Amino acid sequence: MDATGVSHIAICVRDMDKSLGFYRDVLGMRVTLDQVQDTTQGGLPHVYKHGRKTRRTVHVRYGEGNTTPSLVLTTHPGDQADGEPIKLDQVGISHLSFSVRDVKALADELVAKGVQLAGPMDAFTNAQGDVSSIFVYDPDGILVQFDSGGGG
């Protein structure tokens, strides 16, 4: 494979407005595409667990330009998504991760905005008082990690 990078990562959400409130409004990602698609055509019916007629996809990105991968939020108007978000020890995509310049400052900002950390702040703080990685929950309970670069 001669891949040039990751184009996007897609997650299914229960409530697009709540998810946009988190990814766009709290994290500051920008919407680059918002569309409704027919899911009864092409190969789409074959990649769903349940029959769906339409899906709304909203692409969000961080940074300027289009050089970063997009995060695609999907929902199915008129249909409820099923399933639960998974944890790090379960099969599937367990979390999203973003590298940031100052994890501690971001953690303080997110907590002030009412974002739920995935554990107490001291659990993410080392003996020297540094915070190199945190996990938070998005509105659907999906784990989102922020690290200082290269965190797993």
Is residue 29 within 8 Å of residue 63, measured between CB atoms? no
pLDDT, tens digit, for every residue of 29-73?
A: 999 999 999 988 877 778 888 888 899 999 999 988 777 788 999
- Give the pLDDT score at 104: 92
pLDDT, tens digit, for every residue of 134-151?
A: 999 999 999 999 998 754
**What domains lie within the chain, and their CATH numbers?**
8-75 (3.10.180.10), 95-147 (3.10.180.10)
Antiparallel, parallel or unpaired: β 143-147 and 133-137: antiparallel
- Give the pLDDT score at 10: 93
pLDDT, tens digit, for every residue of 78-132?
A: 888 888 899 999 888 899 999 999 999 999 999 999 999 999 988 898 889 888 8
State the average pLDDT over residues 19-27.
97
Phi, psi of 29 (to 5 degrees): -70, 155
Q: Is the pLDDT score of 76 beyond 60?
A: yes
- Give the pLDDT score at 79: 87
Q: Give the whole-angstrom CA distance, residue 99 versus residue 83.
A: 28
Between 42 and 27, the higher pLDDT residue: 27
Phi, psi of 31 (to 5 degrees): -80, 125
- Give the pLDDT score at 149: 79
Count Cβ neighbours within 10 Å for each residue of 101-134 and write b for 16 or more, e otherwise: eebbebbeebeeeebeebeeeeebeeeeeebebb
